[in-house]
Structure 1
Amino acid sequence: MFYQLYEMNHAAVQPFRAYADAVKLFYTNPLNPLAHTHWGRSVAATAELFERTTRRYGKPSFGLAETVVDWKTVPVTERVVWSRPFCNLIHFERAVPARRLPDPKLLIVAPMSGHYATLLRGTVEAMMPHADVYITDWTDARMVPVSEGRFDLDDYIDYVIEMLHALGPDTHVMAVCQPSVPVLAAAAIMEARGDRFAPSTMTLMGGPVDTRRNPTSVNILAEEKGVDWFRENAIMQVPWPVPGFTREVYPGFLQLSGFMSMNLDRHITAHKDFFMHLVKNDGDSAEKHRDFYDEYLAVMDLTAEFYLQTVDTVFVRHALPKGQMTHRGVPVDPAAIRNVALLTIEGENDDISGIGQTKAAHDLCVNIPADMRAHYMQPAVGHYGVFNGSRFRAEIVPRIADFITSYGRANRAPARPRLVRAAKA
């Protein structure tokens, strides 16, 4: 019922939002003398602030039209190369000479945690000069008809395996935050099967592999409440007339509320500053605010079964580090991973995945040789700084690029490690 009320409220505000937009257009028209006064800019700023804080933000576009390869600017074409009801695999195809040696294939697995894959626009942009980049573009669950069936954590793992098969051998995989557990599980399953399409390298970034280590407020909340509380308080049915009508979901607006409440003072200050930038006619600063919040406020729903299974498996039972995780009834054993090089990356100030949570993957993947592992903690960055921003581009990207180049199968000798059994935590 709450979802229906949310939609009704959004519809009820629509006329006021349209009026505010008209007021803004009137007071920013250069032919209007009032547009050049402090009072006129204040009215326009108020109208824009109201319109932006009450609108529904649609899915952004990647908008990556070009990149630099070998010090030359080349065009980029965005293509869907694999598709399922809950995900499209997007290839950022660079117009490089056919005779040029191919760059490593990199599958970036975007988080399915409320935001669209475009949140990783900066990640994709930074990696394109170094790799042939693909990204998982997860579908908003409210837009998927119930007739398409369920989608849970097991399906997520299956999707990752299918995409690696579609891309072929010697593909590198990068998991950003939430996907760290299912990507590690997918690699373990593929290695246990002797699958030749298992990734060459696996880069886990700011992921909750073992949330018992330095638990954050997010981890503590999940463990204290338990999965039944989330089932009763966070799961809702998609209202009519959305395509996913009656599908049970965890709504994106609830996730966004949780994100914003973690740094509420910062968001309030940002909107106050935005108002002042508009009044002072500081267009550059105002545009930076628009760009950030157009992305940050665009959210998607998650299927109820995926959300609840993830909460239970990762945050409540800690199934993977305890050796209790299964995929379709079959145990997931990270010790089966022998030939996939492992890189883990954490942020010093990460308030979502605490220090040590991602690094824990090394303690689970005991049969990866020591010379095929690396860990890096980036100083002075929070969660988002692990995969975006100036420090990511300057300090993290070169390490990832060097790692995947060094451990591509064409560049390394076959490893014959001594196999040991993983210790259960």
Structure 2
Amino acid sequence: MIYKALQTGQDIFHPLRSMARGLGGAMMPIEHPGFAGLRALRAAFEVFGHAGITATRPAFGLEPVRIGNRSVEIEEEVVAANPFASLLHFRKDIDLALPRVLVVAPMSGHFATLLRNTVQVLLQDHDVYITDWHNARDVPLSAGRFGLDEFTETVMQFLEAIGPGGHVLAVCQPVVAVLSAVAIMAEDRHRCSPRSMTLMAGPIDARQHPTEVNRLAESKEIGWFERSLIASVPWRYKGAGRRVYPGALQLSAFMSMNLDRHMKAHREQFWALFNGDAAKAAQHRRFYDEYLAVMDLPADFFLETVKTIFQDHSLAKGELTWRGRTVRPEAIRRTAVMAVEGEKDDICGIGQTMAALDLCRSLPVTMRSYHLQTGVGHYGVFSGRRWAQAIYPRVREMIQANEG
């Protein structure tokens, strides 16, 4: 019923929003003060038309990067895949060996394109790959389950695909799975164990300075989450019958946490359009076109993440297992670890990611590093000016120091 209600709402509003976008685009901007009413109507059409949720993955649309004295185009190629994810390689046509970096994107309701700016900045000095997670509603039931174990296994498979001597960078929610994967590979002395691991704004130990997200996860027993948030994919999609946490439902939860901020942003968009501020209006549109593009999460993965990471704190307590095998971060001896946090992060509190450095206690101090970026919230850790100018140089330095 949950999924059907969400889909019905989207089906009803989709043609209305399409019509509003068409009308807004057809109306010519009129600067004369006597036509203020028409300008307001055009702005209202534009705001309404672009405010809808979509399940279509946006394009990465990466810009060329400068390598030496050349401007190099970026080509996307899928180099490995399973039913739930593709390993996407951002290939550059250059005769220069750059450090290979696997970016592990969060499976948290948005597509991997949310890390577009993360990738764009990394491409300056690295050969970049990313986990391009698939929308669970499009994965047939015959593909089987996908939980935390399968997520961790996918990270290991993709590290194998990029080969020995790579590096891994995890953003937000997947830091636990990435640390687990690297620990298992280290214990097995796997030849594709990464040379470095960067963990950014993720809940290694969610007990540290808990945020509203952490408190919500602990406020209900896991059965409540299953009864209230899990739905079956309708027959009209390839994943019909698969149990999922609908992306639209998760987006609604996130937006409700900062409802005033989102309402203010849309009011400002109206006035930007009304006043003809094209640059500001385009910036708003780019952000929300990405933010409102959502994907469904496999129910097993969502419920296991809530229970294991946010309620039981299994990794921090030394109780996490992968396919029945205890995960031992202390087995990591050759992979340098860097933790990055944001001072104003209201999703992942200060100390939650830094906890990884204590868990990797077998590493010498010189191979463990930490960066707290002042003045940034959650998204500012991996996107925007401070990511590019303050955080990235530290990450690049750590990768280069462990390149060979």
TM tier, smaller: over 0.9
Fraction of identical pairs, as percent: 47
Preserved contact between residue 65 and residue 77 of structure 1 (Cα < 8 Å): no
Of 282-291 and 36-45, the range deviating more from structure 2: 36-45
Structure-2 residue corresponding to 1:44: 42
- TM norm structure 1: 0.92
Does 2:384 correspond to 1:389? yes
Structure-2 residue corresponding to 1:313: 308
**1:377 pairs with one of 369, 372, 375:** 372
Q: Distance in 1 between matches of 2:89 and 2:31?
A: 49
RMSD: 1.7
Structure-1 residue corresponding to 2:5: 5
Structure-1 residue corresponding to 2:52: 54
Does 2:156 correspond to 1:149? no
Preserved contact between residue 154 and residue 328 of structure 1 (Cα < 8 Å): yes
Q: Distance in 1 between matches of 2:390 and 2:326?
A: 37
Deviations along 1:389-425, one digit per CA (max 9) or x if unpaired, are: 10110011111111011012x2xxxxxxxxxxxxxxx
Gaps of 5+ in 1: 411-425
Please report how far the alpha carbon of residue 207 of structure 1 lies from its aligned counterpart in structure 2 after TM superposition. 0.8
Q: Secondary structure at the match of 1:207?
A: coil
Q: Secondary structure at the match of 2:221?
A: helix
Structure 2 matches for 1:59-78, cutoff 5 A? Answer: 59-78=57-76
Q: Distance in 2 between matches of 1:110 and 1:7?
A: 26
Q: Distance in 2 between matches of 1:312 and 1:71?
A: 51
Q: Distance in 2 between matches of 1:191 and 1:21?
A: 53
Of 57-66 and 287-296, the range deviating more from structure 2: 57-66
Q: Secondary structure at the match of 2:354?
A: coil
Q: Distance in 1 between matches of 2:105 and 2:164?
A: 21
* Pairs aligned (count): 404
- The residue type paired with residue 149 of structure 2 is D
Does 2:105 correspond to 1:110? yes
Does 2:146 correspond to 1:176? no
Gaps of 5+ in 2: none
- The residue type paired with residue 87 of structure 2 is L
Q: Secondary structure at the match of 1:381?
A: coil
Deviations along 1:212-252, one digit per CA (max 9) or x if unpaired, are: 11011100110121211111111001112011111100010
Structure-2 residue corresponding to 1:121: 116
Does 2:85 correspond to 1:87? yes
Structure-2 residue corresponding to 1:24: 24
Structure-2 residue corresponding to 1:191: 186
Does 2:399 correspond to 1:404? yes
1:182–1:36 distance in 2 versus 1, CA, 3 Å: farther
Deviations along 1:168-190, one digit per CA (max 9) or x if unpaired, are: 11100000011100000001100
1:263–1:374 distance in 2 versus 1, CA, 3 Å: same
Structure 2 matches for 1:249-288, cutoff 5 A? Answer: 249-288=244-283
- The residue type paired with residue 396 of structure 2 is A
Structure-2 residue corresponding to 1:328: 323
- TM norm structure 2: 0.97
Q: Distance in 1 between matches of 2:370 and 2:344?
A: 16
